[in-house]
Amino acid sequence: MFGTEREQAAFPFTLQYAVKNLSGPFIGYIGNKFGLRCTTVLGCLLSSVSLAACFLVKDILSFTILWGIAFGVGFGLSTMLIPKILQLYFPKSFNLVQGIFLSGGSIGSFVFPAVGEYLLLTYGTSGTFLILSGFVLHSVPLAMLLECQETITKIGSHVEVQEKGEILELTKDLTTLEEENGSKFVCRLNSEDIYSKKHYPVEDAKSGMIDVFSLPNSNFDKNYTGLKDCRSTDSVKSQHKNAESGLDAPLKRNEHLAEHECQTKVVSKDSNPDSMENVNFSIKKSLKYHAENMSQGSFNFISRNFKVFFDPAYILVCISMSFLLVPISVLYTIMVDTWRDKGVSEDVTILMTFAIAGLVGRLGFGFLSDLKCTSPLSMYALTSVICGLVMIGFPWLHGFYAMVVFFAVVGVLMGGIMVTPTGVIRDYIEKENLTMAFSSRNVLFGLLTLAQPPVIGYFRETLQSYDGLFYFYGSGCTFGAVIALCVPMAARYRDKKKQEERSCAKFCPKH
């Protein structure tokens, strides 16, 4: 390509993959700041523009910048937040739809080689990039169809309320009843409600009071009155909420917000839309912003976005994923050389077997995870251990049929390894941190991909064999499974520590 050697021509593709994964924290920040739809549309546009610009490229440096960096960032913006979007749209079948999403790569491996070869022969390299840009541009209107959820975000000296969804489902989760000073506090809200909340659980709201002392950065009291008519969520189907826009006003130091009236319409499953019952409630907030809090508003917003990187459970998930995704990436790179070194030349048959097995693994493990017969973590650890042991045994395999069986088994297992980690993140990471957690899950893996070429070159050129590479990465898969099994303990430690901090903040005297 562009008259360069093989190593130089391959570098932009390695860089693009690394940039996509390393830009995860930036993508998560943009997603929290501007919303999932805006971020996805921006990524689709940037990807299309960078591909179109490759039409004008005449040297490897320009191609590296456009493909390796610009397209890498655009590709990340458009795809790294997909798990979060799927989790919002398909909460009950998240793992299956995640498998369907990832299956696009397997299906594309059947179609794109033939299409790509035809485009290159017919239109050349520059023309192919221009046509691919048109293909990618079709994703922009599709991304615009995404609906964003309601978000409530405090930035600097403003409290911004953005109503981005009108229908809010009521569910029965998060129903905590506590006694304090002779009063009953019902429906204690968790910290995700102050940032983004789609479900507002209400159960037995007899006293009409909601305790929100556990909300972060909340030195205010919040009382809900008039909820006595909403006894249980068993018969509640939907809620239409219309909030006043007074919360958009800038807040000055030590200023108290006035009382804001909201109206909630509760619809029973058994009732018709004409017989809706109105439930009025008021929210009275007393927000006191000191000078130091006002000056640190932007810092608090940034620290709130990146606090997931201090979560021990999330750190273990990222380490475990890096130990498992690197072997997958390496195997994709060296697979043809591995069976040719063993005297097998039926490339097409083995490649097709591997692609079909990957498709089966992604769909199958996603479906099994949603059946609740076992947890995504257990499935993730099991597939990782088996995959590691199979890779360690590869050097002893010889012959065509042995290669077919090996890549069929590994393809299915790797499909499961690619699907289940997002389910683990959803189960063990706090909900308010999911956007950043999903987008940044491959950051460590992105760093390690930069070391792949020299590692592969060492085993290939120096040791003249890939056997040691299979031993090395097979052991890494097994070790990654062990790390994954420690995630629940880390999550319990995190929750216990946060509970202690809440108790201290509640009962310790304030100075």
pLDDT band at 135 (very low <50, low <70, confident <90, very high): very high
Per-residue tokens: 233: 């969520």
Percentage of the chain modeled with pLDDT above 70: 68
What number of CA atoms fall less than 13 Å from residue 342's CA on the CB side?
21
In angstroms, the CA 58 to CA 170 distance is 57
429: part of which helix (H) or strand (E)? Answer: none
Is the CA virtual torsion 482, 487, 489, 493 positive or negative? positive
pLDDT at 394 over 90: yes
Interior CA angle at 22 toward 19 and 23, to 5°? Answer: 80
Q: What is the pLDDT of residue 465?
A: 87
Regarding pTM above 0.75, the answer is no
In eight-state DSSP terms, residue 214 is T
Please tell me which residue, 498 or 148, carries the higher pLDDT value: 498
Per-residue tokens: 429: 């990471």
Across residues 434-449, what is the average pLDDT? 91
In angstroms, the CA 181 to CA 445 distance is 51
Q: CA dihedral in degrees (372, 373, 378, 380; nearest 10)?
A: -70
Quick check: 139 and 78 in contact, CB under 8 A? yes
In angstroms, the CA 378 to CA 481 distance is 9
Q: What is the pLDDT of residue 300?
A: 65
In angstroms, the CA 25 to CA 336 distance is 34
pLDDT at 246 over 80: no
CA distances, 104 to each of 8, 108, 244, 412 (Å): 29, 6, 43, 15
Please tell me which residue, 294 or 316, carries the higher pLDDT value: 316
Tens digits of per-residue pLDDT, 14-61? 889 889 999 999 999 999 889 899 999 999 999 999 999 999 988 889
Q: What is the pLDDT of residue 116?
A: 86
pLDDT band at 247 (very low <50, low <70, confident <90, very high): very low
